[in-house]
Every structure is written in structure tokens, then in C-alpha cells.
Structure 1
């Protein structure tokens, strides 16, 4: 049944993505229109994950989501959070690698939805685009989501927390909202199959953009996120992938 349910999920994804992209084209002419269509696409997939695959989630710390636009600073373990965050947080844009824009329909939609695309092979240019596009998104009223380790990592692994998010926070005067999660224990990186269970998402209290130098601000996020990762880890079928 697991495989049948996954195949249903993928079938619906393939069927709805081209029509949703067609809807994004005229919607992009309206401020935030493409983002609302993209959110609708993501919510359909989250519904399928919940009701067909059996992959649900619970959130701790919803009360910590501030009223004003902020920068979501999150752990990144799978593709799940890029979908579910559309349901959990206010309308936001992601910071993502520009190569994703080349993916038919999905990548084109990302670009139309104001995703901040960076070239990770050119660090200087990436930082400049991050600041320029991030400031534009703030002025448009968006939240911004950044994965400070830069890529998806398996459960238990810890990457280097880059300072771009903290620098952006200080330049734009936007607080950082730290987020921990264990999605990789149910949806492993690059896996075709998603597994039933309950993902845990923990939202921390905002870290003030002016609470120190960029290194200090990001260190606060990193310390909190990694402590929560230890607490919520070990609950999914792929928890065994955690590093020793």
C-alpha cells in the first residue's frame, strides 16, 4: 500500500503541475499573484501527503511566529518543508540555488514566484544578489525563508551555518525565526518514496536582528536549532541514518 499511495501522490503532482503553471502566468501580472497560485499548488501536495501517504505533522511554538515579516531560518532535511511551510507560515519566498529555475514547470514557477535565486559557485555574486533581491522582497511585504546550511542534510548531520541570513536580517531590520524539524526521517533526501508518520516542526522565539554581530546572531539560531534537533530526532523510520 505504501508504494501505491506514493504513486498516487506522484501521479497527481504530474497532472496538476502544468495547469498550475499556466495559471501562474496571468497571476504573475498581479502583485503576489504567482505566489498565491504556488501556495495553492503546495497545499494540494501537503493534503495528499497527509491523506494519501499518511505523512502528517505537528507544530510546536506557533505562538512564536511574529506579526511582522521576518526571516525564517530553518533546518533543511527534505523537500517536505518547502511545501509545508506554505501552510505553516505567512506568504514567503525562498532563497534557492538558481539551477532549480531550469526544471520545467516547477523551476519556471519558482522564478515567477519571486524566489531569490543565487549562484553558489560565485560567492561574491551570490551575496550581492541575496541582498539586492532580499531587499526587493521585503519592500513587497514578503517573509523570506533561508536554509543557512545551504543544502539538505540527512538526519543527525550538521553543516556550516552561513552568515547570509544574519547579514540580511541586519541590513533589512528583520528578525530571524529559528526552525527545527525532523522531516528527513520520513522523506529522505532524493528519495522517490515518502513514508507515513508524524513530522515534528519546532518554531523558536525570534532572534532580534540587532542582538549582536552577524556571527553572534547566527550562533544564537544555530545553538537553538541544533539543541532542538537532538530533542526531536529519532522518531522516524530513517532515524538510523543519523550520524554517530
Structure 2
């Protein structure tokens, strides 16, 4: 019952945050620079982290921030819950997401996403989606903004290794930018599509960047395997640390 109560309090805080930040970003959209709007989005990410800590006693720790190269780069991260989509804004500087087109049509929330320069693709048309990803992804990275890619494509349980896809590797190769692999165990405390948030400590591990500037497209699969190993080895370490708690 206590977890349900705390989760309900956080839900109200989250919805309130979306309304306040969403309306603010929407109003500022025509009259401010995108860097200003992204800074506001970063504060929204920190607001979500603080709300989770206060309402649900769910905190996070990050190891490996020193591994981040100067932006831009391609972040290839685990996708386990809604947590990373809400908190990553406050963790990584100047990022954009690859999102399904329908999210941009949601009132207030979708307006805020558009105001902060997210990349929307139509997943119902895979061919066009891939062309859009390559064209707009290269443009966003060229503007100095890092892109977040979930290589497994969808949310997976903490103990599951999904099918890694090379779209993020292709973006990095096309732009000659590094890949930053990121592991975390948010799904242990906030399961995919779950309402209840368990108290605890989410562990985030940022691996050293994988450089692509001197590598060719024929190495795409080999680079993807390096990304997978970097993430999954850290997932195993996280599980071992959690077992000691």
C-alpha cells in the first residue's frame, strides 16, 4: 500500500511537471533559441529525478561520466522502463531522442518535444523511417546535439538481452562520431509499462566511447558487437552489485 501511495504521488508530480514544463516550452518555442529550450528540458529531467527520490525513495547513481567525450556523440543505451526517457535529459548534455511520430501529436507534451528538436519517425513505413533517421539524424548530430538510440528497439526486462540492431552504429559511422554505450537497471524498480515504483538505487554505468572516425561501414557488425559487449558486461556487473545489497 505504501508503494502504491508513493507511486501515486509521483504520478501527480510527473503529470504536473509535464503540464508546467510542456506549456513553458511551448510558449517559449517561437521566441527563444533551441539551446535555451533544451536547458529547460534538462531541468525537467532533474525535476523528475528529484520527484522520484522524494515520492518513491528511488534514486540513481552514475559511474563513468568521465568517459563522456565532447558532444556530439551517439548514446546507445538499455531501454527498460520510462525512467530513462524522463531522467536522461538531466544526465547527458544536449541530447535528442528518436521518437515515434505519434508522440509529437500529443497536446502540450508533444509540443514540448517538438520545441526541443526531437527526431520523429513514422514506424509504419520502415523504409521512409530509415531514410528519415539517416537524413535528420545526421543533421542533428551535425548541429552538435547527441542522439539517444535504444539498440534493442523496445523495452526489455533487466535480465533479458534483446536483439541488438545497428541503426545507431550506422549513424555514428556516417557522422564519424563516437558511440557511448550505457547500461542501467531501472527496470528492476520501475518495470516496463508498470505503475508501481519500488524504492532503491538505479545504477547507471557509462562505458568508454567506441570511436568510429577511422572505421569503415564494413565494420558495422563488429562495432555493434563491441557496443553489445560493453553494455551487457556492465549489466552483469550491476546485477552482481545489486545482489550484494
Q: TM-score, normalised by structure 2?
A: 0.89
CA RMSD of aligned residues (A): 1.9
What stretches of structure 1 move > 4 A for 4+ residues in a row? 234-237
Paired with 1:66 and 1:34, the residues of 2 have a C-alpha distance of: 23
Q: Once the 2 structures are TM-superposed, how far is the Cα of residue 236 of structure 1 from its aligned partner? A: 6.6
Q: Distance in 2 between matches of 1:20 and 1:109?
A: 8
Query: TM-score, normalization: structure 1?
Result: 0.90
- 1:165 CA displacement: 0.5
CA distance in 1, matches of 2:71, 2:85: 21
Greater alpha carbon shift after TM alignment, 15-24 vs 218-227: 15-24
What 5-or-longer segments of structure 1 have no aligned partner?
238-244
SS at match of 1:141: coil
C-alpha distance 116-227 of structure 1, shift in aligned 2 (>3 A)? same
Which residue does the alignment assign to 2:233?
227
Q: Write out per-residue CA displacement over residues 145-201 of structure 1, whole angstroms, 9 at most, x where no aligned residue.
A: 111111111111122111110110011111100011111000000011111100111
Between 25-34 and 54-63, the greater mean CA deviation after superposition: 25-34
Alignment of 1:205-216 (within 5 A): 205-209=208-212, 210-212=214-216, 213-216=219-222
Aligned residues, how many? 237
The aligned residue for residue 29 of structure 2 is: 28
Contact 1:180/1:229 (CA < 8 Å) preserved in 2?
yes
Structure 1 position 34, deviation (Å): 2.9
Cα drift, residue 102 of structure 1: 3.1
From 189, 193, 213, give the equivalent of 1:190.
Answer: 193
2:48 to 36, 41, 45: 45
Counterpart contact for 1:186–1:236, Cα < 8 Å:
no
Q: Confirm whether residue 14 of structure 1 aligns to residue 20 of structure 2.
A: no
Distance (Å, rounded) in 2 between the aligned partners of 1:43 and 1:173: 30
d(CA) in 2 for partners of 1:105, 1:22: 6
Q: Distance in 1 between matches of 2:152 and 2:33?
A: 30
| Residue-by-residue CA offset, 1:33-90 (whole Å, 9 max, x unaligned) | 3322222222211111112211111112121111232111101101111122122211
Question: CA 1:12–1:68 in 2, change beyond 3 Å: closer, same or farther?
Answer: closer
